[in-house]
Amino acid sequence: MDFLTRLNKILNKVLTLTGGVFLIGMILLTCANIFIRQFYIPIRGTFELMGYAGAVVTAFALGYTQFTNGHISVDILVNTYPAPVKRFVSLINHGVCSLFFFIAAWQVVKKAMILKAAGELSETLRIIYYPFTLAVAFGCFVLALAIFTDFLKVVFPQKASAK
């Protein structure tokens, strides 16, 4: 449990920082494109690079957002439950969501492998883009891991609080 929590913390910090670097890159690329096209031609492939970088920015923040309770939920009813019911509901909630995102990660990996096998290239720059698809899959996997850690914290509450 302790190992998983630490792993989540480190992974999410590194990924969010990487996402931040991509965000700054997006701002600089767009501003450079607007500036350069005024007296020359637009930077080729800005449109698709922005899409790929945007994917990394949000996918790499998936785990961090879960880790910091950033996802919106409607807890108006859940807050009124007695503790044992709340714990049961939390188990179902985390169990189902973690399974769902493991499936999502696995399916996106499959999609990336299909793109790789087909030698799929981007429309303008003609570059391979399946690594970005894999990045989204990795983001989903880290989210699933963060939710699974929350699931374990509900299963072993004493161990979590003793720590």
Partner 1 sequence: MSLTLIGIIGIVLLLAILFVFGIPVGFAMGLVGFIGFAHVISVDASFNMLATVTWDTFSKYGLTVIPLFIFMGQIAFYSGVNEKLYTAAFTWVGHIRGGIAMATVLACAAFAAICGSNAATAATMTTVALPQMTKYKYEPMLSTGAIACGSTLGVVIPPSVVLIIIGLSTEQSIAELFYGGLGAGILLASLLTLTVYVLCSIYPSWGPTGEKTSLKAKILSLAGAVEMLILFMVVMLGLYFGLFTPTEAGAVGSFFAVVIALAQKKLSWNDFYNSIFDTLKISCMVIVIITGAMIFGRFLAITRIPFDIADWVVTLPFSKVTIMGIIFMIYIIGGAVMDALALLLITIPIFFPVAMELGYDPIWFGVTITIVTTLGAVTPPVGATTYVVGGMAKDVPLEKVFKGVAYFLPAYIICILIMMLFPKVVLFLPGLLK
DSSP H or E run through 71: none
**From candidates 102, 111, 128, 160, binder to partner 1 by CB under 8 A:** 111
Residue 78 interacting with partner 1 (CB under 8 A): yes
For the record, the structure tokens of 127 come out as: 């570059």
* Identity of the amino acid at 151: F
Residue 23 interacting with partner 1 (CB under 8 A): yes
Minimal distance in Å, beta carbon 159 to partner 1?
23
Instruction: Please tell me the distance from the alpha carbon of residue 113 to that of residue 131, in angstroms, as a whole number.
Output: 10
User: Are the C-beta atoms of 162 and 85 separated by less than 8 Å?
Assistant: no
Q: How many residues make contact with partner 1 (CB under 8 A)?
A: 57
| Residue entry with tokens 């979590």 | 160
3-class SS string, 43-62: CCCHHHHHHHHHHHHHHCCH
SS3 category, 118: helix
**From candidates 100, 102, 116, 125, binder to partner 1 by CB under 8 A:** 100
Residue 30 interacting with partner 1 (CB under 8 A): yes
Radius of gyration over every alpha carbon of the chain, rounded to an integer in angstroms: 20
How many CB atoms are located within 10 Å of the residue 102 CB?
17
**From candidates 75, 120, 156, 163, binder to partner 1 by CB under 8 A:** 75
Residue 25 interacting with partner 1 (CB under 8 A): no
Minimal distance in Å, beta carbon 7 to partner 1?
19
Q: Give residues in contact with partner 1 (CB under 8 A).
A: 16-17, 19-20, 23-24, 26-28, 30-31, 33-34, 47-48, 50-55, 57-62, 64-65, 68, 70-78, 89, 92-93, 96-97, 100-101, 103-104, 107-108, 110-111, 132-133, 136, 139-140
